[in-house]
Amino acid sequence: MTKIVNHWIGGRTVEGTSGRSGPVTDPATGEVTTEVAFASAGEVDAAVAAAKAAFPAWGGSSLARRTSVLFRFRALLDAHRDEIAALITAEHGKVHSDALGEVARGLEVVDLACGISVQLKGEVSTEVAGRVDVASIRQPLGVVAGITPFNFPAMVPMWMFPLAIACGNTFVLKPSEKDPSAANRIAELLGEAGLPDGVLNVVHGDRTAVDRLLDHPDVRAVSFVGSTPVARHIHTTAAARGKRVQALGGAKNHMLVLPDADPDAAADAAVSAAYGSAGERCMAVSVVVAVGSVGDDLVERIRERAEKIVIGPGDDPASEMGPLITRAHRDRVASYVAGAAAEGCEVVLDGTGHTVEGHEGGHWIGVSLLDRVPTTASAYRDEIFGPVLCVLRAETYEEGLALINASPYGNGAAVFTRDGGAARRFQLEVEAGMVGVNVPIPVPVGYHSFGGWKDSLFGAHHVYGNDGTHFYTRGKVVTTRWPDPADAPAGVDLGFPRNH
């Protein structure tokens, strides 16, 4: 029997009534295992109404009350890591250890949210003028929404809602329709942790649900993570409706390998970061820029390692890389490799023919490695989001840097070198929001913020860390005077107030 995923509104499961739903596939078999309800505008309205009704009590509750719920949630999430990872693997396809890693990185943001009291302390200046004090405080916005992508069905929602609710907001989450189950399980755990009904709601669906969230007058802010064209649409539309918005988009992350880099460390890092999660990571390395003489040797070391990657179902402990999310996506990724030679690339490894015995219906593709890729090739220009690594050659550091900075994306970038001076130059000169020095996937820890530059992020705030707290709160400055009874009356003064 097909499993049904419904909405979670007001602290309980609510069956979809729109008459619309979508299939969820097990990528390792190609079989439809689940049907997910697609919300109508009216069902989104019900979720927003539940969140709005919950806001006065939750936003007005003490920090101690809010953080005690988050501490209990943290313990439950920790205890259910394996179960959530299994839900992710069943619908996304990534291998279990990778899914566990995603839950762990989401937990980091829950840790931060448990300590929100420190971040919300505010600032006070005393005696800014005679008997005048000034306090800067931050208050929640109200109902906020999160719209998330398929590739991290647990972690990306946890980049958003833990901080949002810790700050006193109430939340409506619209997860990816491709792997919706983890979000509902997490919402249930929050309920078990004592989160009041309506503080976190989950509506499933497609563009209809998203458009209603963008339109709804009671939604004060929108956090989005997904592809660049949709991120741009979300940013423009939500901002035009007066909402605060952060919209994280796609990526094409470069790894610059300088001639003095440790070649084995660079090859290990390139292979792990390019092919981990089958390349379906916004921080995947999809381009290696080999500087000077390192190119031929590096490509050979990458090829040796890439050929050994074990591809298979995510729930098989022997598998290192799973299938792609859908058949259509698998075919799109394969088309870049099929067209690469005609566009001037040297095809070192072609993984398009890969199949897995006993799982012939799965969305399989092997790893591909393209060398001497021209910047005009579509495999270089587009975000492929699959296990395809492009290698480009540059004569000098400057040429490599210019190439990276010409990319329309600016999510992550890495440099591999033993030269501290070169690494320092790179971190200052590269146009990307997250930089790794001998670290290929520099995803910031929970207490720093995550975000890219250029077409990888629209809006002023990165997610989580201090930026997250700022995004989910608005500032208020309170100026106070308590005159001494002995003071003479100030009298009427129509001049602009001056401090003295």
- Catalog residues that contact ligand NAD under the rule CB under 6 A: 147-152, 156, 174, 176-177, 206-207, 210, 225-227, 230, 233, 248-251, 282, 383, 385, 411, 452, 456
What φ, ψ does residue 282 adopt, rounded to 5°? -70, -15
Number of Cβ atoms within 10 Å of the Cβ of 376? 9
Closer residue to ligand NAD (CB): 191 or 249: 249
Task: Report which DSSP code applies to 196.
Answer: P
DSSP string, 272-320: HHHHGGGG--TT-EEEEEEEGGGHHHHHHHHHHHHHT--B--TTSTT-S
Closer residue to ligand NAD (CB): 283 or 348: 283
Closer residue to ligand NAD (CB): 103 or 394: 103
Least distance from C-beta 211 to ligand NAD, angstroms?
6
Least distance from C-beta 127 to ligand NAD, angstroms?
44
Do 169 and 156 meet the contact criterion of CB atoms below 8 Å apart? no
282 classed as catalytic: yes
Q: Which of 114, 167, 282, 345 is catalytic?
A: 282
Residue 17 tokens read as: 């009534």
Which of 286, 484, 459, 263 has its CA nearest to residue 369?
Answer: 286
Residues 6+ apart with CB under 8 A from 161: 146, 171, 173, 200
Do 361 and 31 meet the contact criterion of CB atoms below 8 Å apart? yes
Residue 143 tokens read as: 């109902």
Closer residue to ligand NAD (CB): 251 or 356: 251
Please name every residue paired with 170 in a beta bridge, in sequence order, or none if there are none.
Answer: 143
Closer residue to ligand NAD (CB): 72 or 332: 332
**Nearest to ligand NAD by Cβ — which residue?**
226
Query: Residue written as tokens 């994280």?
Result: 248
Please name every residue paired with 31 in a beta bridge, in sequence order, or none if there are none.
Answer: 26
Least distance from C-beta 181 to ligand NAD, angstroms?
14
**In whole angstroms, what is the distance from residue 488 CA to residue 245 CA?**
49
Least distance from C-beta 125 to ligand NAD, angstroms?
37
Least distance from C-beta 357 to ligand NAD, angstroms?
29
Catalytic (active-site) positions: 282
